[in-house]
């Protein structure tokens, strides 16, 4: 495992290609895939490079890393990164923000770069949206809502309805971050509660 990671993080990670093509990593679930020359453009971080290797060789990172007896953190990060790489193109800032929950926000600049390299996507919009979100401190996860379950409960919602209402408000705020104001969110929750009665 150490030698594989060392090669992956090196200056020329594509040196692994002859080994993979010869079947030397089949025991771990890594078989012949696409050319690995793109790996050297990926930032040299374990999870990024390993996820890229798995993506390019159509391998399942969690299973591969389990066979290689890797740590859980690398397994989980790589699994989520490959899932992100296999996800469709990002079409809007709101959609991008909804995907932020899987990784720390600063890591997303690297994910954007990897999508550009491996998927040949034009990432100019992604970079612009990412900059807007970070500079304006726009909400991108449920805990960033300017309202809590206690306030939703005080409106009249109960049990599962509280979470459903928070999620409904979150989806609205993701699209319109300027609406993330407690008074406005409480008013919208009240209106929605009255409609449901």
| pLDDT tens profile 51-81 | 999 999 999 998 998 898 888 998 889 999 9
Phi (first) and psi of residue 181, to 5 degrees: -130, 130
Looking at the structure, do residues 129 and 66 belong to the same domain, yes or no? no
How far is it, in rounded angstroms, from Cα 193 to Cα 147? 15
Round to whole Å and give the CA distance between 83 and 99.
11
Same domain for 107 and 68? no
61 in the same domain as 13: yes
Is the same domain home to 28 and 97? no
Phi, psi of 161 (to 5 degrees): -60, -35
Q: Which residues of the chain have pLDDT under 70?
A: none
pLDDT at 35: 86
Residues 156 and 171 in one domain: yes
**pLDDT value, residue 184:** 97
Distances 81 to 84, 102, 148, 155 between C-alpha atoms, Å: 5, 9, 30, 39
Domain co-membership, 43 together with 67 = yes
User: What integer pLDDT is reported at residue 5 of this predicted model?
Assistant: 83
* Count of domains observed in the chain: 3
pLDDT at 4: 84
pTM of the model: 0.83
Query: How wide is the angle at C-alpha 188 spanned by C-alphas 195 and 152, nearest 5°?
Result: 90
Do 15 and 74 lie in one domain? The reply is yes
Residues 187 and 147 reside in one and the same domain = yes
Cα dihedral value 11, 14, 19, 22, nearest 10: -170
Query: 9: domain range?
Result: 1-86
Whether residue 18 is found in the same domain as residue 65: yes
């Amino acid at each position: 495992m150490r030698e594989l990671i060392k090669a992956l993080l090196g200056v020329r990670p594509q040196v692994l290609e002859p080994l993979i093509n010869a079947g030397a990593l089949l025991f771990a679930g890594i078989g012949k895939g696409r050319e690995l020359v793109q790996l050297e453009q990926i930032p040299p971080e374990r999870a990024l490079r390993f996820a890229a290797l798995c993506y390019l060789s159509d391998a399942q990172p969690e299973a591969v890393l389990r066979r290689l007896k890797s740590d859980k953190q690398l397994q989980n990060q790589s699994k989520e990164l490959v899932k992100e790489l296999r996800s469709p193109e990002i079409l809007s800032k709101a959609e991008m923000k909804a995907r932020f929950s899987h990784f720390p926000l600063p890591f997303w600049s690297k994910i954007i770069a990897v999508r550009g390299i491996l998927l040949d996507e034009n990432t100019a919009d992604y970079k612009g949206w990412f900059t807007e979100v970070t500079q304006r401190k726009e909400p991108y996860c449920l805990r960033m809502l300017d309202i809590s379950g206690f306030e939703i409960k005080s409106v009249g919602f109960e049990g599962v309805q509280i979470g459903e209402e928070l999620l409904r408000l979150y989806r609205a705020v993701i699209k319109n971050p300027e609406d993330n104001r407690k008074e406005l969110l409480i008013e919208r929750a009240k209106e929605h509660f009255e409609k449901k009665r």
